[in-house]
Chain A
Amino acid sequence: MSLLINDLHASLEDGTEILKGVTLEIPAGEVHAIMGPNGSGKSTLSKVISGHEGYVVTSGSVTMDGQDLLAMSIDERSRAGIFLAFQYPAEVPGVSNANFIRAALQSRLPKGEEIDAVAYYKNLYAKMDHLEMDRKFTARSVNEGFSGGEKKRNEILQMMMLEPRYSILDETDSGLDIDALKIVAKGVNAMRSPERGMLLITHYQRLLDYIAPDYVHVMAAGRIVRSGGPELALELEKNGYDFLKETELVPA
């Protein structure tokens, strides 16, 4: 049981190769972190796994518990159990948060089956309480006028409601003050389970003080260049990414 990325190559539509052979396995029950400098391809990896149509996978594979993810559309991947917490969540004017999450849950039900509204709201409110989100966020349009921290909390709320098998959190810590970071981390930690794998993408070690990863990987120029335990993050915090200059990185 794992999210398995094998020798993944992906390019922009104009042919620029961003991912140059990423291999990574995230078994269910584990939390992995990917760190790396800007432009290393971290966010691209998260988008390619979730099916963003702006990228072309030229070779390699991504499977989830044996299922071929690359053969599925964006929404099929989500329904199959992939969740991406966005670095920059889109605003959806005129669609209330409650209706949005409800539509997402509804999409997982067989045709003709309706969500039990009472149970839904009960669940939603419980999750919102956990994330210390005001009830007014149910009626507000999705992410519209939300602060950076509110948007990130809203991403975690969606993750908690959709209960994915594998979650990818793209720079969830960016734009958060320390209090908001703690709340978000609380939500993420509550979601840790032996059945669920998580991939944290982050620039800074800070997030990992609150969400302890099992493994840490360093990505640079479209590849995983180092992997190790949580101590690797501390080492990066201390020494920065300078070591990358000494690593042999052949540009494409």
Chain B
Amino acid sequence: MSVVLEHSSSLLDSAPETPAAFPAWFADRQRAAWQRFLDTPTPKRGDEMWRFSTLKQLDFSVFTKGGAGDSSVAIVQRSTALESPVAKFVFVNDRLLHAESKLPQGVLCLPLAEALVTHGDLVREHFMKQDSRLGSAKWTALHEANLSNGLFVHVPANVEVVGSIEVFHWLGGENATIFPHTLVVTGANAKVRVVDYFQSVNDDEAGLCVAVNDLIAGPGSKLDYLAIQAFNERTRVIQVNETGVARDASATGFILNIGAAWARNESLSRLDGEGSRSDMLSVSVPARAQEYDQRTFQHHVSPGAYSDLLYKNSLYDKSRTIFSGLIFVDEGAHRTDAYQTCRNLFMSEDAEANSMPGLEINADDVKCSHGSTSAAISDEEIFYLRARGIDPVRARQLIARGFSVEVIERLGDEKVEEMVLRFLDDKFARIASGGA
């Protein structure tokens, strides 16, 4: 491991420098983003989009930029999830450590740092085109200003990628920060699945991750995206997702939250074309003092589109969750089908779940429903499992796992579902052994 004792300046003190190799337009964007970051006020009490949030988590002054992190072979070995991904990229502190690919000809799948140099115009066409609407405008500006790497995937029309592209984002070093960016673009009738894994090199180092993923599903395409958030319990995360779905396209976004001290997810799906479909899925299992704060937006721009959101939280110990979701149907977006469900399962009497489902409909002839439920496991259910010999801890765990499985099953790929369940089972095992 190389020891690089650079001066570690605070993340918030000065404008980051754009690497010289990157195109001028990108340097301009980064400068503008830094200014926007400075100009945008920090969320404060009373901001609707930060209602119930623990705002002190937004004090990022302790975090520093840079830091090489661990670049040992061991990290590459730890970067194993699916049996045979079609491509795999491993980043440590936003630096590329490993890349492999068996992708078909024509598919672009490159580290963003490389794509900016070799396919700058294509990146520019799609890069962070939308404003952050769900509260984190300041933090996506910080992300844009600091971003140095990530993954760019472009699948040309009529190409179906079989298997999954895996991206491992490791965060290491005390108070280190990363700004992973994932940009996925599918051409007409193309198909691809990308999985981001967010993990810590060590269990005891504090860190910050501000991630953005932009998913742009072209007409008739199928785009699946999964984020597995399994950072250590000293890490804070902001993850902002923006999904655009064109005519007859289908996009699935899935988030698994098992790690971090605090995670904020903002997910926006824009149904841009007739016949488009967006599935927004999430499973969270917070324990101890973990807090997951999720804000969603189902934006029906086009008539005749379908969106379905299912978020499930199993809350242990003194953990907290916040869910705020809005289905927004534009004028003229007739024949909209939109559903939104958040379900909380209390595994402890000390946990706290806040749900704010919402609906705003400006069109006729729509089918919309939203709802949220919160409940503890019923005594009769526990009795049934225990009457079969299963001890109470295991019984509760089986029920919580089953509760999550109902979401995971919607991923529709056995290998991927098994992978997600392995992360979930790790979490349950840690909870059972007294950790989180």
Contacts and interface: CB of A to CB of B under 8 A. Distances in A.
B379 A94 contact: no
Interface in B375-398: 378-381, 383-392, 394-395, 398
Contact of A50 (B387, B402, B403): B387
A84 B380 CA distance: 13
B161 interface: no
A151 B245 CA distance: 42
Given A53-B379, A90-B381, A103 B387 contact: no
Contact of A92 (B385, B387, B392, B409): B385
Given A92-B402, A94-B406, A100-B398, A53 B383 contact: yes
Contact of A74 (B386, B394, B401, B406): B386
A104 interface: yes
Interface in B352-396: 378-381, 383-392, 394-395
A141 B402 contact: yes
Interface in A26-79: 50-54, 73-75, 77-79
A93 interface: yes
B273 to A, nearest CB: 33
- Of the candidates A50, A75, A92, A158, the one having the most CB atoms from chain B within 10 angstroms of its own CB is A75
Contact of B402 (A77, A93, A162): A93
Contacts of A83: 387
Interface string A151-178: 0000000100010000000000000000
- Of the candidates B378, B385, B394, B409, the one having the most CB atoms from chain A within 10 angstroms of its own CB is B385
- Of the candidates A84, A94, A99, the one having the most CB atoms from chain B within 10 angstroms of its own CB is A94
A108 B386 contact: no
A92 B379 contact: no
A78 B387 contact: yes
A103 B404 contact: no
B384 A86 contact: yes
Range of interface residues on chain A? 20 to 34
Contact of B405 (A53, A54, A89, A95): A95
A23 interface: no
A107 interface: yes
Nearest to B399: A92
User: Chain A contact residues: over half helix, strand or loop, or mixed?
Assistant: mixed
Given A90-B381, A94-B406, A79 B389 contact: yes
- Of the candidates B386, B387, B390, B392, the one having the most CB atoms from chain A within 10 angstroms of its own CB is B387
A107 B384 contact: no
A107 B390 contact: yes
B246 to A, nearest CB: 33
Given A92-B398, A94-B406, A75 B381 contact: no
Interface string A87-111: 0011111110001110110011000
Contacts of B390: 75, 103-104, 107
A2 to B, nearest CB: 21
Interface in B152-187: none
Contacts of B409: 94
Contacts of A50: 387
A75 B386 contact: yes
A94 B398 CA distance: 9
Contacts of B387: 50-51, 74-75, 77-78, 83-84, 86
Contacts of B391: 75, 107
Interface string B95-137: 0000000000000000000000000000000000000000000
Contacts of A107: 388-391, 394
A95 B403 CA distance: 8
Contacts of B405: 94-95
Contact of B398 (A51, A74, A84, A95): A95
A16 B388 CA distance: 28
A33 B392 CA distance: 31
A104 B402 contact: no
Contact of B381 (A54, A78, A92, A99): A92
A162 B388 contact: yes
A103 B393 CA distance: 12
A100 B380 contact: no
A52 B391 CA distance: 14
Query: Closest 4 A-B residue pairs measured CB to CB?
Result: A94-B402, A94-B405, A90-B384, A78-B389
Interface of B: 378-381, 383-392, 394-395, 398-399, 401-406, 409
Given A90-B385, A104-B388, 6 more contacts: A51-B386, A75-B386, A75-B387, A94-B401, A94-B403, A95-B402
Interface of A: 50-54, 73-75, 77-79, 83-84, 86, 89-95, 99-101, 103-104, 107-108, 141, 158, 162
13 contacts: A50-B387, A51-B386, A75-B389, A75-B390, A75-B391, A75-B392, A79-B389, A90-B383, A91-B381, A92-B402, A94-B409, A95-B399, A101-B388
